[in-house]
């Protein structure tokens, strides 16, 4: 059972990375690579948190936040998923848990994305309350609307993180005894193959219009394969 102190720490970190995603400062602390590592570290296993972050980052390459489009919110979801994957002292079970942790992270990111739509509606409603003052150029109204937006975003991200943690960790407890069909190495391999395949196609989408891209991919691939074989 997870202790309240850990839930609080995860919630605060989730709120910070959630705020980072859109409102402030967009330093990419909300990317899975960072957020899942933080979640794992809080729960005692930075390494497995990073591994999960790498796998989620492969999926995140497919969903960049273009314009006003709807996209997954990776921060709070990755913090919760990192916590889910971290089972200190039992790397084998943690590896078996990877498919569930990645799936949970992806699902939570979708749900988190929906809450961003709600946030924008709340921001609109707050701005609506100050409509006359904003039209009159009242600086205090501009600052009030802005501060409220960031406070609501911080609270939203924290609440979403707490919800994910409190929902997913009990499910993990139930699953722990049922994941004995496939060993950890195979579980990690299957998740790795899927994640790398998705990342490969995501990168291709971005680079295939660049002149001469194939040569750069081939050069990189050759170097990567060489290092894989020699290390």
Ranges within 191-210 binding another protein (CB under 8 A): 191-210
Q: CA 225, CA 231: separation in Å to the nearest integer? A: 10
**Residue closer to another protein, measured from CB, 8 or 223:** 223
Contact flag: residue 12 with another protein (CB under 8 A): no
Question: Cβ of residue 7: shortest distance to another protein, in angstroms?
Answer: 23
Contact flag: residue 9 with another protein (CB under 8 A): no
Contact flag: residue 60 with another protein (CB under 8 A): yes
Contacts for 129 with CB less than 8 Å, ≥ 6 apart: none
Report the residue from 43, 74, 96, 164 that binds another protein according to the rule CB under 8 A. 96
Contact flag: residue 51 with another protein (CB under 8 A): yes
Residue 26: how many CB atoms within 10 A of its CB?
Answer: 12
Q: Is the peptide bond before 25 cis (omega within 30 degrees of 0)?
A: yes
Kindly report the length of the chain. Answer: 231
Q: Which residue has the tokens 């979708």?
A: 110
What residues from 113 to 152 belong to the interface with another protein (CB under 8 A)?
A: 120-121, 123-124, 126-127, 134-139, 142-143, 145-150
Report the residue from 11, 115, 161, 187 that binds another protein according to the rule CB under 8 A. 187
Q: Which of 53, 54, 105 is nearest to 77 (CA)?
A: 105
Cβ–Cβ under 8 Å, residues 35 and 79: yes
Contact flag: residue 27 with another protein (CB under 8 A): yes
User: What does the angle CA 104 – CA 48 – CA 205 come to, to the nearest 5 degrees?
Assistant: 60
Report the residue from 7, 12, 46, 111 that binds another protein according to the rule CB under 8 A. 46
Report the residue from 103, 129, 167, 171 that binds another protein according to the rule CB under 8 A. 103
Q: Which residue has the tokens 């139930």?
A: 174
Q: CA 66, CA 2: separation in Å to the nearest integer? A: 37
Question: Cβ of residue 165: shortest distance to another protein, in angstroms?
Answer: 20
**Residue closer to another protein, measured from CB, 1 or 136:** 136
């Amino acid at each position: 059972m997870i202790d309240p102190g850990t839930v609080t720490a995860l919630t605060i970190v989730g709120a910070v990375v959630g705020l980072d995603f859109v409102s402030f400062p967009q330093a990419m602390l909300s990317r899975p690579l960072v957020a899942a590592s933080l979640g794992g570290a809080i729960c005692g296993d930075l390494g497995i948190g990073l591994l999960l972050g790498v796998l989620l980052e492969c999926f995140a390459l497919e969903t960049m936040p273009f314009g006003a489009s709807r996209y997954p919110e990776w921060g709070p979801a990755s913090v919760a998923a990192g916590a889910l994957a971290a089972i200190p002292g039992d790397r084998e079970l943690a590896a078996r848990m990877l498919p569930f942790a990645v799936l949970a992270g992806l699902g939570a990111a979708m749900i988190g994305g929906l809450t961003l739509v709600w946030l924008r509606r709340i921001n609109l409603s707050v701005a609506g309350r100050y409509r006359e003052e904003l039209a009159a150029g009242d600086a205090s109204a501009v600052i009030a609307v802005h501060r409220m937006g960031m406070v609501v975003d911080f609270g939203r991200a924290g609440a979403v993180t707490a919800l994910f943690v409190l929902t997913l960790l009990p499910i993990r407890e139930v699953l722990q005894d049922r994941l004995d069909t496939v060993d950890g190495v195979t579980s990690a391999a299957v998740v790795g193959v899927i994640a790398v395949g998705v990342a490969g196609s995501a990168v291709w989408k971005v680079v295939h219009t660049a002149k001469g891209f194939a040569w750069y991919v081939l050069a990189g691939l050759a170097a990567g394969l060489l290092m894989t074989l020699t290390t």
